Amino acid sequence: MTDLFQSTKPIYSQLADRINRQILRGELKPGDKLPSVREMALQVNVNPNTVQRTYRELEGMEIVESRRGQGTFVTENEEILNAMRERLKKDEISQFVEGMHAMGYKNEEIEEGLRNFLNDGKGDQA
């Protein structure tokens, strides 16, 4: 997680996205403890205030929960995690489709391209 951040989006938001993706990939499981604010700041080379803001944002979305004296943990509420998964899927699809439209592709061409891609086995996960 020590790769560079993009300058087009706030770092705390990018860090929240990374944590969300770790949860989706199963690298962080429901109930897992996140690194302390200081530990995370050192891992990703950012100010601890940025990490604190990231954790507050994730807590506001109910993806993580703080336990006084224990730390910050991934929620065990499957409904919230499923909603996050669906939201991220929709966001990715939206970005993809917007990019394809910007290149001049029509919906039918995008659908056909996706179908071909998935049917050729190239869409299988490694």
| pLDDT attached to residue 6 | 82
| pLDDT attached to residue 8 | 86
Cα separation of 18 and 11, whole Å?
Answer: 10
Cα separation of 68 and 46, whole Å?
Answer: 24
CATH for the stretch 11-76: 1.10.10.10
| pLDDT attached to residue 126 | 47
Mean pLDDT by 10 residues, the chain (126 residues): 74 95 96 96 95 97 95 96 94 96 97 93 62
pTM (2 d.p.): 0.80
SS3 at position 29: coil
Burial readout 44-56 (b: 16 or more C-beta within 10 A, e: otherwise): bebeeebbbbbbe
Q: What is the DSSP letter of 1?
A: -
